[in-house]
Amino acid sequence: MLSIVIPIYNEEGLIDDLVKRTVSALEAFTSDFEILFVDDGSEDKSLQYLLNWQKNYSNIKILSLSKNFGHQAAFTAGLEHASGEIIGMMDGDLQDPPELFQEMYRKIREENFDIISGKRSGRKGKNSRNFYTFLFHRLFKNVAVIQNMENTGNFSLMKREAMDALLRMKEKVRYLPGLRTYIGFKQGYVEYIREERMEGEPKMSLAKLFILAADAIFSFSRLPIRLTLTLGLIGTIVFMCAGIYVLIAKIFGFAISGWSSTLLSIYFLGSIQLVSLGIVGEYVYRIYKESQDRPLYFVQKFYKANDTI
């Protein structure tokens, strides 16, 4: 069986199109599938709309979470409840074309890949959001300890064995595209152009997007903590040179009253220390999150087939 996991947060405006398009895209190549919608605590009518669709399609399942837990937690919840032998992930805003699952599925079945990710060869629309995503992927490619992640997102299809491996990583602060790349297995790609969101505003605010980028970088790169070390070392070298100059000036008697140099060095050292503390703080925060070990999400109800609220 094929399971497709789709997180939904306040998407009432496009649920009809989403269901229709996804169902017909999947029916084009298999009859044995489930679509598992994760309602991530929507405050609009998304859940009712989904339940209505479920009346007609018994292979629609809905996992309703007790509140909004965020995109990555919603995906995780869905993946943990999916029962397919091949499992897919797709955003609910039709930015990723469900029709592409056919090619992904073919590659897994016929070319024996374990994981196929959608690689964005381009993006429709020119907005600051796309620019930030571009910057993130550029930076991430250069600093991350994993390779070949560039320009893939959550959109993907994978075999059960690979999914089980992915789900064994229980970290709370998670960036699924990174984890998926990290686990190995035979990975392949299909290229596509990322559409603009079909309807409504993005449900990931820019702030959430930046936090996700930070999570990705902190979990897959040593750059931040290296940066503090480098800054510290640069500071030390600068002040060793300055120290030598000061001593020479003292010995040869041309030391001046030195107001600006004192202030500047205080500012410089102070800011290096603050930046370093901030970066260390990011690590402490993440360690704290992990050690609290709170569940990533709580389930309100799992509508497996033809339930009502």
- Binding residues for Mg ion, rule: CB under 5 A, are 93, 95, 197
CB of 56 to ligand UDP, least distance (A): 21
The tokens for 303 are 């509508």
Residues 49-68 that bind ligand UDP (CB under 6 A): 68
Q: Which residue has the tokens 């152009």?
A: 193
Q: Which is nearer to ligand UDP, 119 or 203 (CB)?
A: 203
Cβ nearer to ligand UDP, comparing 95 with 187: 95
Contact status: 9 vs ligand UDP (CB under 6 A): yes
Q: Is position 174 an interface residue for ligand UDP (rule: CB under 6 A)?
A: no
Binding residue (CB under 6 A) for ligand UDP from 100, 149, 165, 204: 204
Give the nearer residue to ligand UDP in terms of CB position, either 7 or 178: 7
When the beta carbons of 94 and 165 are compared against Mg ion, the nearer one is: 94
Residue 184 — left, alpha, or beta (φ > 0 → left; ψ -120 to 50 → alpha)? left
Report the residue number whose CB is nearest to ligand UDP.
92
Tell me if 202 contacts ligand UDP by CB under 6 A. yes
> Smallest distance, Å, CB 93 to ligand UDP?
4
Q: Are the C-beta atoms of 57 and 23 separated by less than 8 Å?
A: yes
3-state SS, one letter per residue, for the chain: CEEEEEEECCCHHHHHHHHHHHHHHHHCCCCCEEEEEEECCCCCCHHHHHHHHHHHCCCEEEEEECCCCCHHHHHHHHHHHCCCCEEEECCCCCCCCHHHHHHHHHHHHHCCCCEEEEEEEEECCCCHHHHHHHHHHHHHHHHCCCCCCCCEEEEEEEEHHHHHHHHHCCCCCCCHHHHHHHCCCCEEEEEEEECCCCCCCCCCCHHHHHHHHHHHHHHHCCHHHHHHHHHHHHHHHHHHHHHHHHHHHHHCCCCCCCHHHHHHHHHHHHHHHHHHHHHHHHHHHHHHHHHHCCCCCCEEEEECCCCCC
How far is Cα of residue 230 from the mean position of the Cα atoms in its chain?
A: 28
Q: Confirm or reject binding of residue 7 to ligand UDP (CB under 6 A).
A: yes
Task: Tell me which of 120, 181, 197, 279 binds ligand UDP, using CB under 6 A.
Answer: 197
Pick one of ligand UDP, Mg ion, none as the site partner of residue 215 (Cβ within 5 to 8 A by kind).
none
Minimum distance from residue 9 beta carbon to ligand UDP (Å): 3
Closer CB to Mg ion, residue 40 or residue 93? 93
Stretch of 8-16, 23-31, 244-252, 275-283 lying at the interface with ligand UDP (CB under 6 A): 8-16
Q: 11 or 34: whose CB is closer to ligand UDP?
A: 11
Q: How many residues bind ligand UDP (CB under 6 A)?
A: 17
Interface with ligand UDP, residue 78, by CB under 6 A: no
- From the list ligand UDP, Mg ion, none, partner contacted by residue 178 (C-beta under 5 to 8 A by kind): none
Q: CB of 230: closest distance to ligand UDP in angstroms?
A: 32
CA quadruple 138, 140, 146, 150: dihedral positive or negative? negative
Site of interaction with ligand UDP (CB under 6 A): 7-9, 11, 40, 68, 70-71, 74, 91-93, 95, 197, 202-204
